[in-house]
């Protein structure tokens, strides 16, 4: 079947979630709905590419938090993963507004997508196990980065002919995330300029604190899983450190193929 046909089948199967997403755009981008559509498309791409980038070999071992999430189901892995998702969305948002200007992306639609994605990943897939789509990604990191529609477009969808995702389970997440973003926007717009600056300073502080916690938890996760390697490095010299690093890196690259 052609790619266009698969895209069409996915849109038809998931028309309810798309309609709810369009309604979410109307609510959050009421003053400029057309720009809102562009923002929603960019946000969907951010979710996909944020995940793809976190698997790039070049970032190993800095992406160890996500690798740990792939191999472990425990509280530490969930906390690291939630922090990574919030941190990554904030970083990409800062990156985009720095390049394209303050008005290129609405912070409240970014907030909506951040809550939407983090709850789908960490509640719908990881706790409720709504389907096997994300599990396939955990078994083979070449497929199903999500959202499904971008996987179809980018040829990273596992068994695209027989395993299209029914995304009806997105609906409560979109509704809750849109409600939170809507009230956050309403409250923020009522503030005076001084209080708005205070909110921004507060968010910058949260961002820096999150980065630190994420760093320490990732190092800790690395330490508890690679204890033997670290001990070898501590007892050895610089040459051992280099050899171990190359070996670990090679193991990781092999796993990604
Ligand atoms: Zn992944
Ligand atoms: Zn996962």
Sole residue written with tokens 């979630």? 17
Q: Is the pLDDT of residue 143 over 60?
A: yes
154-188 burial string, b = 16+ CB within 10 Å, else e? eebbbebeeebbebebbeebbeebbeebbeebeee
Instruction: Tell me how far the alpha carbon of residue 238 lies from the centroid of ligand 2, in angstroms.
Output: 35
CA of 27 to the centre of ligand 2 (A): 30
The answer to whether 111 touches 180, Cβ cutoff 8 Å, is: yes
CA distance 252 to 257: 9
Check: CB of residue 39 under 8 Å from CB of residue 106. Answer: yes
CA of 158 to the centre of ligand 2 (A): 15
Residue the block writes with tokens 């760093």: 215
Give CA–CA dist 85/50, Å, rounded: 9
- Positive or negative: CA dihedral 133, 257, 116, 162: negative
Instruction: Return d(Cα 195, Cα 205) in angstroms, integer.
Output: 15
Query: What's the whole-number mean pLDDT along residues 32-39?
Result: 91
pLDDT tens, 57-86? 888 878 889 999 998 889 999 999 999 999
Q: Is the peptide bond before 146 cis (omega within 30 degrees of 0)?
A: no
Q: pLDDT-derived band of residue 193, with 50, 70 and 90 as boundaries?
A: very high
Concatenated DSSP letters of 7-30: HHHHHHHTHHHHHHHHHHHHHHTG
**80 to 68, 123, 229: CA distances (angstroms):** 9, 14, 22
Segment 215-222 mean pLDDT:
92
Q: Over 90: is that where the pLDDT of 52 sits?
A: yes
| Residue 255: predicted pLDDT | 63
Question: Cα(145) to centroid of ligand 1, in Å?
Answer: 6
């Amino acid at each position: 079947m052609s790619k266009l046909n698969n895209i069409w089948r996915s849109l038809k199967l998931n028309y309810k979630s798309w309609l709810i997403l369009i309604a979410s755009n109307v609510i959050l981008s009421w003053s400029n709905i057309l720009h809102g559509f562009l923002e929603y498309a960019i946000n969907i791409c951010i979710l996909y590419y944020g995940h793809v980038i976190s698997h790039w070999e070049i970032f190993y071992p800095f992406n160890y938090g996500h690798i740990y999430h792939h191999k472990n189901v425990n509280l530490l892995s969930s906390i690291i993963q939630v922090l990574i998702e919030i941190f990554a969305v904030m970083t990409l948002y800062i990156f985009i507004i720095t390049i394209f200007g303050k008005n290129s992306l609405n912070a409240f639609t970014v907030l909506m997508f951040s809550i939407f994605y983090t709850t789908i990943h960490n509640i719908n897939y990881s706790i409720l196990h709504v389907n096997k789509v994300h599990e396939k990604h955990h078994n083979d990191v070449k497929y199903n980065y999500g959202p499904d529609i971008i996987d179809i477009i980018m040829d990273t969808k596992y068994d695209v002919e027989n395993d299209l995702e029914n995304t009806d389970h997105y609906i409560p997440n979109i509704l809750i995330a849109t409600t939170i973003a809507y009230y956050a926007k309403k409250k923020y717009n009522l503030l005076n300029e001084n209080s708005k600056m205070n909110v921004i300073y507060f968010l910058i502080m949260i961002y820096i604190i999150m980065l630190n916690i994420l760093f320490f938890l990732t190092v800790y996760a690395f330490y508890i899983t690679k204890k033997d390697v670290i001990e070898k490095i501590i007892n050895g010299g610089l040459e051992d450190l280099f050899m171990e690093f190359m070996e670990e890196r090679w193991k990781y690259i092999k796993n990604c193929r």
